[in-house]
Amino acid sequence: MAGVIPVVLLAAAAQAQPLDRFDDVAAWRAASSDGVSATATAVPGVTDKALQLRYDFAKVSGYAFVRRTLPITFPPNWEMRLKVRGTGGVNDLQIKFTDADGTNVWWVTKPNFRPSAEWQELRIRPRDVQFAWGPTTDKTLKATQAVEIVVVRGRDGGAGTIEVDDWTFEALPPPRPLPAPVASDPRAIDGDRTTAAKGPVTIDFGGQRELGGLVLHWAGAATAYAIEASDDRRRWRTLRSVRHGDGGGDPIALPDTETRYLRIGGAKGLAEVEVKDRSWAETPNAFVADLARNAPRGRFPRGFTEQSYWTLVASDGGAVSGLIGEDGAIEIAKGGFSVEPFVVENGRTIAWSDVATGHSLENGYLPIPHALWTAAGWTLDTSLFADADSKRLMARWTLKNTGDVARTLRLVLAVRPFQVNPPAQFLSQRGGVSPIATLAWDGSAMAVTTPGAIAGDAAVTRRLFPLTAPAQAWAKPFDQGALADPAEPGKAMRVEDPTQLASGGLAYDITLAPGESWSTAMALGGDASVTQAALDSAHAATRASWQRTLGAVTMNVPTMKQPLADTVKSALAQVLMSRDGPALKPGTRSYDRSWIRDGAMMTETMLRMGVVAPGRAFADWYGPNLFANGKVPCCVDARGPDPVPENDSHGQYIHLVTDLYRYTGDKAALERDWPKLDAARRYMESLAQSERTAANQTPERRMLYGLMPPSISHEGYSAKAQYSLWDDFWALTGYKDAAFAARVLNKPEAAEIEAQRDRFQRDLHAAIAAAVRFWKIDYIPGATSLGDFDATSTTMGLDPAGEQARLDPKLLANTFDRQWRRVMTRPVSSDWSDYTPYELRNVSAMVRLGRRERANRMLDFYMGDRRPGGWNGWAEVVGRDQREIRFLGDVPHAWVASDYTRAALDLFAYVDQDAQAIVLAGGLDDDWLAEKGSDVRGLRTPYGTVDLAIRADGDAVVATIGGGAMPPGGFVLPWPLSGEAGRATIDGKAVKIASDGLHIPARNGPISVRMERRR
């Protein structure tokens, strides 16, 4: 085609060659996701040819792109240049390179891209390209067959254009070893170091060089100097000016710098220069991480050198939201800076690395966490709560002298440019550095200003109001060593820092007699100071509010089981705190989006705990985001509904709205939801019909017939979409619930939906059987297209799909036997690196399979991986080495919290869908029946509320059932002790015990039950 250089010439080219001149744009094809429009044309009305992508995101999330076949063979070193301009708001720009079918993708991402009216040149080098996804094991970019230019809905969305022109490619020679830099005056440089300067120092790299920064070592004080760059030694550009240096060693970040010459003006007293490579300061996190590795342990937050943990502190609904780290640092808002404690004793700065730290929640479960430092002779307690009324966080620090002599301590509350969310965290938000541009103390408050997140955005100023006046306060720029010793006072009350790494401090000097305590507090945000009375009132109100919210279900259990009962309530609080208004979210940082799968399961959790309103609000908010064809978006965020096909979504939305009806009986709401419920069902049916093809009836593809099409809803299949049984169990749940809703509402299509339900159920079980034969396996696979093992996915077949009675019992037993071995060998094996606590669903499966001993042992194992344990929360990912840095997801992760709650509640009561009965105490073993036994009240079920008091009485079990639940199939109470059950009475009347337990008809009023061991 005209304007395109043959690919065979690219690798050998010695100069830039055109990839596409865009003289003819016919080869480019536009496409978009659901609800987004995209067209590709030549730029209209101009003589200079170029390609224009016109897009409109309307009210949805998604993407628009242009694509063309364009084979490229990539040499080891190369450079691309592309001219771009456009109109519209801030969105994400991506350039993708794919293989022929798009299975394997490499990309260049430009987040928060603001197009300009004038041409700007994008320069792309090998380091700018990352492997995005795909099944290939060799992720090296060697050859691709097609290219895409993509606009992804970002902050602004809306309509606009992206125009591109003059796409060139230049093969470059392999990078050569750089010559030793040369200083033109006054001395030569040895390697990458220069010594003994008395005037300006100029470094000649002998050619263009990429670098990340410098470390300047001074023989004396260096108060002011400038670093400049030049390509020709005639025209100089200033890279960095330092006005108030403090001598010693000055690390200077110069990210994305490429130059031949560097000049350091005002270099009197410069003893040595270290030149750092590009990676040293490629990001602020990389820069700080290097400083942290070379500093005394404890001077920087733990997360820069080893894995750290934290917990969420927020109001119900998330209007106020912060984090507290395991070491006592407090992040005042999402992505915000932190306040970190240090203690100075006898001139020595004591940090998190110098003390033992413990963790607790008030009352054992309330979302008011404490981090307790224990040192020789004293303790420091840091606590945090979210005041919903004033819409700000309140922190308190309490020092106590635990020794037998008086001691004088200095408490320093350091204001630091770091999040508690550590740098290894990413997705919706990258953790680590939180820029501070300006810091000012006015005598009553510390004002902290952060720059706008996107160029052109307004800066944000937040104020910290200490309850008591500090003995000393300061602001300090990075160039004066602000990060090196956070407890070392600065000389200024206000600083503006071009590095955006300013720090500050508030210091309190306290003398304590033996046993004496002292405390202070701080309001984090807002526009007014706080009094002691107001603080105490807000604290009491917060405690009372959470006690009411979390108190619908009461659990009185044996002492050894109290942590499990406390964690049930804490987990509910975590779900409620992670909300963003009506949007249910699994987290507030990494997972700052609302998934229908998480929301549906969290809603069920809340309903079982007697909390209805958030689930109803979520359904009302999510419903309008369905696409016009009934497709349920996998998730929704501020940008709108996401179009990525994840085929569990449709059944989950249906389950959400029918579950609300089952627990509330609100038929009018179900009627309002019906049009969207049925649209989702019809869309789901179209997907199932698309797989009922002749090709899928062949023996090698029968395991695919009639199922949901491949999707990436299961994160294990993100590299390549698979026929996931997770999707299919949710689809069957959707069919069942749609049929139920149709009968409740007397809909004429009820019989048609029931037929679809039965057909899909048959196809599903036939596909499982075919997959077992094809893959020669003895368990239920995670995906029929892979034959892989994933018991956590299989749990959906038991609940909510309710297929336990129809699944092959041998396959079912093998599946969960294998999972049991997998989990219980972890403490003694090293052949694993991490797992996700979604596995808690296997506890529920064990209960339903009648394996109560395994259920409790697994639960004990998972409880041991709460981190920190005293804060009752799980990360999304648990590592074998808890200090090895890894991505954790949000901590706590609200979807994991809901999995835990359902598993714990299933021990006491769950619904047998086929029998329409409530199984009681199916997971309670001897430990739950010890002491006074377990007394749980207020458990909600689709058939009403259940109260259960049960205890061991010698060789007997005594139980009282109340609450008013009226399941059509009554209650079933399996024998919970060792041995076999013998005699039983219900309200004093002798009855027989069936093989699956004692069957108890439902009726009003308390029901008294006694079961005795066979003798």
Name the E strands within 327-419.
330-331, 338-345, 348-350, 356-361, 369-375, 378-387, 392-401, 407-416
Residue 502 and residue 601 share a domain: no
Candidates 678, 625, 787, 627; CA nearest to 722 is 787
Residue 320 and residue 238 share a domain: no
Domain boundary among 877, 910, 943: 910
Residue 802 and residue 934 share a domain: no
Whole-angstrom distance, CA of residue 756 vs CA of residue 16: 60
Q: How many domains does the chain have?
A: 5
Q: At what angle do helices 562-577 and 894-908 cross, to 10 degrees?
A: 140
Does a structural domain hold residue 599? yes
Would you state the pLDDT for residue 467? Answer: 97
For the chain, what is the radius of gyration of the CA atoms?
Answer: 32
Would you state the pLDDT for residue 177? Answer: 57
Candidates 723, 710, 734; CA nearest to 652 is 734
Would you state the pLDDT for residue 178? Answer: 46
CATH code assigned at 248:
2.60.120.260
Q: What's the number of CA atoms in the CB half-sphere (13 Å) around residue 53?
A: 31
Would you state the pLDDT for residue 739? Answer: 98
Q: Which residue has the tokens 């920064």?
A: 213
Give me the residues paired with residue 476 across strands: 503
Residue 408 and residue 261 share a domain: no
Name the DSSP letter for residue 458: P
CATH code assigned at 140:
2.60.120.430
Interval 621-644: pLDDT, tens? 999 999 999 999 999 999 999 999
Number of H helices, E strands in the chain: 16, 53
Does a structural domain hold residue 842? yes
Q: Exposed e or buried b for every residue in 409-432, given b needs 16+ CB within 10 A?
A: bbbbbbbbbbbbbbbbbeebbbbb
Q: Which residue has the tokens 């981190």?
A: 867
Residue 534 and residue 405 share a domain: yes
Q: What is the pTM of this model?
A: 0.94
Name the DSSP letter for residue 195: B
Residue 919 and residue 855 share a domain: no
Asked if 864 and 570 touch (Cβ cutoff 8 Å), the reply is: no
Whole-angstrom distance, CA of residue 11 vs CA of residue 330: 53
DSSP string covering 4-51: ---HHHHTT-SS-EEEE--S--TT-EEEE-TT-EEEEEEPTT-SS--E
CATH code assigned at 794:
1.50.10.10
Whole-angstrom distance, CA of residue 229 vs CA of residue 387: 51
Domain boundary among 130, 145, 171: 171
Domain of 399, in residue numbers: 303-548
CATH code assigned at 927:
2.60.40
Residue 377 and residue 243 share a domain: no
Domain boundary among 910, 931, 965: 910
Token pair for 823: 């989990």
Residue 391 and residue 410 share a domain: yes
Does a structural domain hold residue 566? no
Q: Which residue has the tokens 């309200």?
A: 987
Would you state the pLDDT for residue 197? Answer: 53
Does a structural domain hold residue 294? no
Does a structural domain hold residue 573? no
SS3 label, residue 810: helix
- Residue 358 makes CB contacts below 8 A (sequence gap 6+) with 371, 372, 374, 870
Residue 906 and residue 962 share a domain: no
Distance of CA 941 to the CA centre of its chain: 30
Residue 816 and residue 672 share a domain: yes
Q: Which residue has the tokens 């410098």?
A: 214
Does a structural domain hold residue 576? no
Residue 621 and residue 754 share a domain: yes
SS3 label, residue 549: helix
Asked if 482 and 545 touch (Cβ cutoff 8 Å), the reply is: no
CATH code assigned at 355:
2.70.98.40
Whole-angstrom distance, CA of residue 646 vs CA of residue 650: 9
Does a structural domain hold residue 754? yes
Tell me the CA distances in angstroms from 868 to 210, 369, 843, 845, one per residue in order: 42, 11, 21, 26
Residue 929 and residue 971 share a domain: yes
Give me the residues paired with residue 344 across strands: 349, 410
Ranges of residues in the chain whose predicted pLDDT is under 50: 1-13, 178-196
DSSP string covering 649-673: HHHHHHHHHHHHHHHH--HHHHHHH
Candidates 950, 951, 948, 945; CA nearest to 964 is 945
Expressed in angstroms, the distance from the first to the final Cα of the chain is 90
Token pair for 796: 């959906």
Does a structural domain hold residue 560? no
| Strand ordering across the sheet containing 91-98 | 29-32, 63-73, 143-152, 91-98, 105-113, 130-133
